[in-house]
Chain A
């Protein structure tokens, strides 16, 4: 297979987007979605066909040179190594299913051409991130997903809240992007390269302090995209977009970009123990923070949003613990079951007549047992039921974290355990509130299109049996993904099988404990009893208010001071004073221009006299 064909993988979705942008509104609605689905499905097929190219060191291929000036050289180049290949397969595969689902979900909508164009563009941008062989192209995709998320979260822009949520996502992730851009420029000046393999190769020659600083900057950039502390406030609000968009953002594309970036540059990242510790800590705190928030959420999609944040936190823990394969493993299984959960949530919302509040749902199992079983599959993976995909991936991460013998990792490991319990609890809370008992509100269910139903089972299977991808030796597997990725500097958890089993039993115990707690509290609807703690958690620990008071208000005050106080009064006032003076001077001079010959001749005569006097004085002297 010609390596150049790899470029078709990102370009096909771009083509689909172009068609929808240019002529989408003239096509029939079914065609718009069809084009989007086919373009992504074709790139999935291509990614499957191209799999052999990723063997060993992978394939690096070049389409054209994008920028070349002095030492700067950025290509439209693809690096198709095992890491990129597995990620590409996941992105295109899950995206295909989400696109199919979206065709069903959006069948009642009007301007779907914009929707599908943005959806395709989203996949294209993500593939740019995944496949780029240099950081500049990666950054292009990085900004691309930011833009597409802005467009898609604010898709129903007629409502101000939605448009605001889009803006918030755009701006908050942009904060992280600034850090990433600084890291990128620093890497370029320090190593003279932009290519990812070159940078990874040159990393050991950098000063340790510089590496630490760069890793921290990268972490800040990744935090923005992956909604980690402290740049996480945009993700719950991002639920304002259509459900397929949430599925796409949370499962296949945007939020995983941060994890992927850290994995991609792992040979560099692994050189800084401080950086690794920071990554672990950020991940652990986010996992815990988001899990507590998810416990109190009322909107079905916000529960899932916080759980995504929490799960991405686990991936960060894995990267920080040095286990790239663990992070990628969790990323893959999470993509499957989170896409499933979001799409299931979309079905639930449709069945309840656009109702989002789980306290007003109930009894959905009776309405559609099929959706219940599918959602249950996803929920079991999320909660970490033993032997499901989510169980193995989460367990691997906790094991890797536990095997480090220092304070920070032990602390994060504990946070991870608590979060695991909370995850199990809020997942079953969600299940009980939504599916159990009787419907608490009379609603008019919308029709579920077959496309929405039949995209769920493949994801359920992938989620439940995703563990086979990277089954640890203790369970009779051979860690396929780990051998496939073969990342340099990868941390190997060197613990006896006994400890491994003990940890697994502990994880299973936490899963059961969460299940029992949720069963005890929610097996029959306990009523809606808001209290102070719940309100605090519902508002995400008041993070928005906190940011409003600590950052935005002082900033706004400063802006008003500089804008109104300094710029408009002092600077503009001074300039206006000068201009007025000049103008008045001009008005005075203007009077001398009378247009009369006599005045001019007088001036001439007086000038002559002055000149003569001057000459006279000069001769006398």
Chain B
């Protein structure tokens, strides 16, 4: 392995934090979903890196599974965004507070 594992983990951690920051700060539903994608990708990167480091295929297998899961999640999420947009005419996440206590 030409790239040391530490570097991979650092990049993955940075990506995760960037994704999280995006989820936390943006108010548009689509941007939040993109943030989530970035976080999932960070996890995938860490898995692939670790799989290469220990020469075990398990991590890469999980990443394939993760990709399938992500694509399914994205399709459902986008459908929901369309549905929500149609209901309230906005995709601002703060507009959806129907579960207020």
Contacts and interface: CB of A to CB of B under 8 A. Distances in A.
Q: Do A and B come from one complex?
A: yes
Contact of A602 (B24, B97, B98, B101): B24
The secondary-structure label for the interface of chain A is: helix
A597 B24 contact: no
B27 A598 contact: yes
Size category, B interface: 10 to 19
A596 B97 contact: yes
A598 B101 contact: no
A595 B97 CA distance: 4
Interface in A571-612: 590, 592-598, 601-602, 605
Contact of B93 (A590, A593, A598, A605): A598
A484 B23 CA distance: 106
Interface residues of A, number: 11
B99 A595 contact: yes
Nearest to A597: B93
Nearest to B101: A593
A596 B24 contact: no
B78 to A, nearest CB: 16
Interface in A297-338: none
A446 B90 CA distance: 95
B23 A601 contact: yes
A597 B26 CA distance: 11
A594 B96 CA distance: 10
B26 to A, nearest CB: 9
A596 B20 contact: no
Contacts of A595: 96-101
A587 B17 CA distance: 34
Nearest to B23: A601
B71 to A, nearest CB: 22
Contacts of B99: 593, 595
A314 to B, nearest CB: 80
A590 B100 CA distance: 9
Contacts of B27: 598
Contacts of B20: 605
B100 A598 contact: no
A59 B101 CA distance: 77
A597 to B, nearest CB: 5
Nearest to A598: B93
Given A602-B24, A605-B20, A605-B24, A597 B96 contact: yes
Given A596-B94, A598-B24, A602-B24, 9 more contacts: A590-B101, A593-B99, A593-B100, A593-B101, A595-B97, A595-B101, A596-B93, A597-B96, A598-B27
8 contacts: A595-B96, A595-B101, A596-B94, A596-B96, A597-B93, A598-B24, A598-B27, A605-B24
